[in-house]
Amino acid sequence: MSSHINVCVVGGAPMPIAVERTVGAVRSRWGTDSVTTVSGISDQLACVVRVRDDGGPFRIEIDADLSRVGADGTPAQNEVVACLVRSTMPADAPRIIAFDGSWGWHAELVAGITPQTFADHVVIHDEHWVDPDLQI
């Protein structure tokens, strides 16, 4: 798996998230002392969250238009981030996916997904993969 993950709504619409709630979920998971938030980085980024973790430091970027949340952690860290982001959304949110930087796979982020069930939702983009909503 890639060391970069993206979370978005299929079709690119803004996700039904709030930056403060998403950052709060990260702080709850890793602890206030391990999380640093920098806002107002650019017109494209609402904020960057830096996390110090036993698995190594990583960052989370939340786009200003709420179209994407990205993370550059280990695969395990990235799975946790993807599940945390999904947990801040309503159960009836539009179709939310996570995918790696090389578009080699995606995971359907259903309501209630956990890092333990993340692998069950991964779809590998091999020669047999077909999804008209996601083909590029």
Residue 135: inside a domain, yes or no? no
Within-domain flag for 131? no
Q: Are 68 and 8 in contact (CB under 8 A)?
A: yes
Residue 134, domain member (yes or no): no
Instruction: Report how far residue 45's alpha carbon sits from residue 70's, in angstroms, rounded to the nearest whole number.
Output: 11
Q: What pLDDT is recorded for position 60?
A: 98
Task: Convert the pLDDT of each residue in 43-79 to its tens digit.
Answer: 999 999 999 999 999 999 999 999 999 999 999 999 9
How many folded domains does the chain comprise? 1
**Residue 56, in any domain of the structure:** yes
Query: Distance (Å, rounded) from C-alpha 3 to C-alpha 68?
Result: 16
Whether residue 84 is contained in a domain is answered as yes
Q: Residue 133 domain-assigned? A: no
Q: What is the CATH number of the domain that holds 102?
A: 3.30.310
pLDDT tens figures, 90-129: 999 999 999 998 899 999 999 999 999 999 999 999 998 9
Is residue 81 in some structural domain? yes
Identify the domain containing residue 13 by its residue range: 5-124
Model confidence, pTM: 0.94
Strands (E), the chain: 5-9, 35-39, 45-51, 58-63, 69-71, 96-100, 105-108, 122-124
Q: Is 129 among the domain residues?
A: no
Query: What SS3 class is residue 110?
Result: coil
